[in-house]
Amino acid sequence: MPPGSEIVLWLEASLIIALTILAGRAYLQIWRQARLEAKLQRTLAPFGFPDVLVCLVLFTWLGDAVVQGFAAPPRRLNEYAIIEGGLVFAVVVSGILLLLHARGVPIVRLFGLNPEAPKALLRRAAGLFAAALPLVYVSFVIVTTIAGGEPQPQDVTAYFQEAAAASDWYRMGLVLGFAALVAPVTEEFLFRGYFYGVIRRYLGVSPALVLTSALFAAIHLNGGVVLPLFVLAICLSLAYEATGSLLTCMVMHSLFNTTMLALMFYSVRHP
C-alpha cells in the first residue's frame, strides 16, 4: 500500500460516516415530524374504501410478480420488454387517476403537483437527494460486505452496460428515457403518492414506509440491491412528507437513476 494511503482511506471513511450520520438525523427528524402530524390530523387524505381495494389488488399482483420473478431463471432483457414494462405501469397509473378523478378527488392538490419555479424544485430535490446518497451507499457497502462481493447487476443494468460497450446509442437512449422519465413519474405516483398515501391514511406513517418501500425494492427483482433500494424508497417517502410534493420525489428518483447510468457508462467506457 503506497505511503499515506491508509490516512486517505481513513479520511474517506470518516467523511462517509459523518455524512451518513447527518443524513440519518435529517431523515429521522422528518419521520418524527410526519408521525406527529399524522396523529394531529383527522383526515390524512381523501382516500376511501375503493382505494383500499385497489391497493390490495395491486399489492397482490405485484407481490405475485415478485415471487415469480425471483423463482424464474434469469432472462435476457430486450427493448420490447422495457417498453412493455413502461406501458404496463403507465396504464395502471392512468387507471388510478381516472378512478380518483371520477370521485372528485383534487389530484393536483393532493399530490402536490402544482407548477413551481424549476430552479427551486431542482435545488430542493438535489439537496434531499444528496442527503440520501450516503445512506444508500452505506447500505450497499453492507450488502457487498455480507455477500463477499458486488451483486449481480439488474437485467436493465446489464442491458445498458452491453449497449454502452457496443456504443449502441439507441438502446442506451431507450434505457435513459425509461429510467430518467417514465420510471420516476409512474413509480413515484404509484408507490409514494398512492400506495403510501392510502396505507398512511389507515395504518400510519411507519407501516406505510415499510410496506411500500419493501415492495418498491422487491419489484426490481435483484436480491443484491433490495436493501439499498429499500433505503432509497424510505428517503423518497420522507422527502414526500417533508415537501408535500410528488414532483420532488420524481426529480430525486430521476437524479438517482441518471447518476447510476452515468457511472455505469463511465466504468464501461473507461475500464
Decide if 217 contacts 225 (C-beta within 8 A).
Answer: yes
pLDDT of residue 39: 56
pTM above 0.85, yes or no: yes
Decide if 205 contacts 38 (C-beta within 8 A).
Answer: yes
Count CB neighbours of 130 within 10 A: 13
Report how many domains make up the chain: 1
Give mean pLDDT in consecutive 10-residue pieces for the chain, a chain of 271 residues: 55 73 83 72 71 96 92 81 92 96 92 84 92 92 84 84 93 94 96 94 91 95 90 95 92 96 90 73
Decide if 246 contacts 192 (C-beta within 8 A).
Answer: yes
Q: How far apart are CA 82 and CA 175, in angstroms?
A: 8
- AA letter at 174: L
Supply the range of the domain harboring residue 14: 5-269
Inter-CA distances, 245 with 20, 157, 168, 210, 241, Å: 24, 29, 36, 20, 8
Q: How far apart are CA 191 and CA 235, in angstroms?
A: 13
pLDDT of residue 32: 83
Q: How far apart are CA 138 and CA 144, in angstroms?
A: 10
What DSSP element (H or E) covers 49? helix 49-71
pLDDT of residue 175: 94
Grid cell, residue 156, equals: 436493465
